[in-house]
Amino acid sequence: MRNLINRLDAIRHPFPGIQVLGLISSALFITSLILWPAVGETGDQSDQTMPIPALAKTLETNQKLAPQAEPFVIRAERVQAGDSLSRLFIRQHLKPQLLHALTQAEQSNRRISRLNVGQTIEFRYSGETLVELAVIQSPFQQTVATHAEGGWSIEQRQRDPEIYIEHAHTTIDSSLFIAGARAGLPDKVIMELADIYGHVIDFVHEIRKGDQFTVIFEKHYLDGEFIEYGNILATEFVNSGESFLAVRYTDGQGDTGYYDEKGVSLRKAFLRAPLNFRRISSNFSHSRKHPVTGVPRPHRGTDYAAPTGTPVYASGDGKIVHRGAKGGYGKTVVMKHGTTVTTLYAHLSRYGKFRIGQQVKQGETIGYVGSTGLSTGPHLHYEFIFNGVHRNPRTILDKLPKAKTLPQTEIKRFEHLAELLIASLNAQRNNAELAFQTINTPE
């Protein structure tokens, strides 16, 4: 928490504070060396300075005199389908006795032989002798086996990223994705933003031209090199003039979620849409002509146009009560959520791993978009049935019970964090509005 607060004070600085101090200290040190008087002279004779070439030669000599650790020779292997540690050892021309001794040193929580396709395995040699074997889980984490005369030892090595905090602010002209890209946000951050608000905003039917969002997010670096985007720390979405704030918070139990300024979770009982989508092909309507038969009949649901194979999510926690063909619906999954709500997902190309009678959590994949049954193209047909009556899934959710609120034991700590993040959001939005007004003010 304290680290986060300290980082917020340094938002948008090009270097972390410790790097800035390091640069300043280095500059002062080199300057003092250049200006230091020669032996036997007084400090007043400041014009007798050491020339830069002489200083460089002195530093080079000192580096040569310092003991240098012999660098490893690294031979990397990328794990392919069917690979095992034994096969990698064969490719490296290493003796099977060495592998046997390594596997004997493994423990349940430190397994070097458990490999995943796509992982990088580094064989680190000193000369022709294998000294270390590293399984690279990520740029920040690796499992390393070290070989010495006493045998093998295995440890987990982890490096903390250098975390920069960035802002982005933009106005929507057409879609969330285009606006986010224009603000320099990658797809990962845009999709995370959509997931945060997926329970409270319909990003197809409720988005309006002129809507705005501001987001504070992390960027992770290692040794000065950008590695990945981190978490969204806070965001504000202004939809049709209504502000929706979201602050990332981890409670005392270790559970992380997004909460509004009052500590109310943005996670609701049901998603407003059961898949990641770009557009909806038809709105909720009580009557329309069927696109295949041409006969007018009620269309009790919402159609989400998406490519074949797009994952379909359970909109809420529940149990699968139907999984199979269902007339014109084609391949269909029906879920029961408690005693009052049923949801239906139709025209699927195939099903997920869950079977009839199994419990499914919100957001888990229950099928994939297709065009089975009476369908003119790939899309998901979604129905929301409340107390036996088909309801518009995009409006009934507002009438269902609200989400949980943080307990009083958490509120004080949450408010302290939220105050800082919301102030930062406001400052970024105000700066953007000021810049816009300056640009559009006639001379």
Report pLDDT digits (tens) over 222-233: 999 999 999 999
Write down the pLDDT at residue 289: 45
Average pLDDT over residues 88-103: 93
Give yes or no: residues 9 and 33 share one domain. Answer: no
Give yes or no: residues 48 and 89 share one domain. Answer: no
Write down the pLDDT at residue 337: 95
Report pLDDT digits (tens) over 318-350: 999 999 999 999 999 999 999 999 999 999 999
413 located within any domain: yes
Give yes or no: residues 199 and 249 share one domain. Answer: yes
Bigger pLDDT: 28 vs 149:
149
**Residue 211 banded pLDDT, cuts 50, 70, 90:** very high
Write down the pLDDT at residue 202: 75
Give yes or no: residues 222 and 297 share one domain. Answer: no
Give the CA count within 13 Å in the CB-facing half-sphere of 363: 7
Give yes or no: residues 142 and 167 share one domain. Answer: no
Write down the pLDDT at residue 198: 83
Write down the pLDDT at residue 28: 45
Give yes or no: residues 245 and 316 share one domain. Answer: no
Q: Which domain holds residue 30?
A: 18-65
Q: Bin 34: left if φ > 0, else alpha if -120 < ψ < 50, else beta.
A: alpha
How many domains does one find in the chain? 4
**CATH number (domain holding residue 89):** 3.10.450.350
Q: Residue-wise over 114-145: b if at least 16 C-beta within 10 A, else e? A: ebeeebebbbbeeeeebbbbbbeeeeeebbbb
Write down the pLDDT at residue 434: 54
Query: For 158-293, where are the alpha helices, taking DSSP H only?
Result: 176-182, 187-196
d(CA 145, CA 112): 7
Q: Which of 14-18, 43-47, 281-285 has the lowest mean pLDDT?
A: 43-47
| In the predicted structure, residue 110 carries a pLDDT above the cut 50 | yes
Which of 104, 136, 158 finishes a domain?
Answer: 158
